Amino acid sequence: MRNVVVSLITITVLLGVSGCSFQANTPAPVETLYTGKTYKDKMKGSLKQSRYQVQSGDTLYSIAWASGRDFKTLAKLNNLHSPYTIQPGQTLNLSGQLPKPRPVRPSTKPNKISKVPKPAQSQTVTKTKQKENAKSVDPKKSQGYASTTNSQFTNNKSTFDGSGKISRWSWPTKGKVIASFSSTAQGRQGLDIVAREGSPIVASAAGKVVYAGSALRGYGQLVIIKHNDEFLSAYAHNKKIFVKEKQEVKLGQKIAEMGSSDSDRVKLHFEIRYRGKPVDPMRYLPKL
């Protein structure tokens, strides 16, 4: 009986030592929490938090794109005005109620009338100004877009107000469409087009470049173009980008070369967004 007790004690001690050894070599489980500080760690279109801290390389347009919101809505939420300049470290509201416009109180004071100009003088001045303006207007710049040059970059000194209508769209590259737009919650938000690496990518409509970089995970080397106050287009997975932010581009102008940045194959992912929401590009592109 004594031998049995000794044997049991020995087995218990050995098991305890073995257990301690096993626990010592096994690391404790670690829980990884997403802090929600930057969209760079998130997949495209998944920035769902209510506030966001601006990182280096961000633009209001790229943040709006990642959060699936209209840039004008974000601007109003954060009291930003054109050209919508933001700084690293700045905190932006991504959701909330838009500020209500302040009511304008009617003035109780009578309007003071100064000297009324003579009609003849007024007409003379008006005609003179019209002649001067007619001489100073450059027909190439009157449309708000830069004139074409032989270089890859266009002259971006001319103004672009983004309020004009889009006369027509064109295909951003020549290739084969391998994936179409889907309106489902988890569906594809644009078209996937394949061609040879280095194939030219062109602006699908005239506009201004509002983002050119690789900060948005899932898009690789990305270009976003603002066409007016309602439409944006995006060109993802590029090998090389030939445009820069704030540059004006023409319809059909080369903006990049097709590549495979942040993608499993060489392709162009092309999106069109209307008021911040993805729409089917096939509704706007000419039929093949």
Q: Give the residues across from 269 on adjacent strands.
A: 192, 236
* Residues whose CB falls within 8 Å of the CB of residue 106, separated by 6 or more in sequence, listed in order: none
Query: What is the rounded distance in angstroms from the CA atom of residue 87 to the CA atom of residue 211?
Result: 15
Which among 91, 92, 55 has a CA at the least distance from the CA of 76? 92
Supply φ then ψ for residue 271, to 5 degrees. Answer: -130, 150
DSSP string, 243-281: --TT-EE-TT-EEEEEB-TTSSSSBEEEEEEETTEEE-G
39-93 homologous superfamily: LysM domain (3.10.350.10)
Hey, which bits of the chain come out as E strands? 51-53, 91-93, 176-179, 191-194, 200-202, 207-213, 221-226, 231-241, 248-249, 254-258, 268-274, 277-279
What's the distance, CA 208 to chain centroid?
12
Query: What is the rounded distance in angstroms from the CA atom of residue 225 to the CA atom of residue 215?
Result: 16
Cβ atoms of 216 and 62 within 8 Å: the answer is yes
Domain ranges in the chain are 39-93, 176-282
Query: CATH: 3.50.50.60, 2.40.30.170, 2.40.10.230, 2.70.70.10. Which one for 176-282?
Result: 2.70.70.10
Per-residue pLDDT of the chain (288 residues; tens, 9 = 90+): 555 555 555 555 454 544 444 344 443 333 222 334 443 444 444 566 778 888 888 888 888 878 777 888 888 888 888 888 888 888 888 876 665 555 555 555 555 444 444 444 434 344 444 444 444 434 333 332 222 233 333 333 334 455 567 889 999 999 999 999 998 877 788 999 999 999 999 999 999 999 999 988 889 999 999 999 899 999 999 999 999 999 999 999 999 999 999 999 999 999 999 988 899 999 999 997
- Tokens in use for 227? 């066409």
The single residue listed with the structure tokens 């710049």 is: 141
Cβ atoms of 226 and 166 within 8 Å: the answer is no
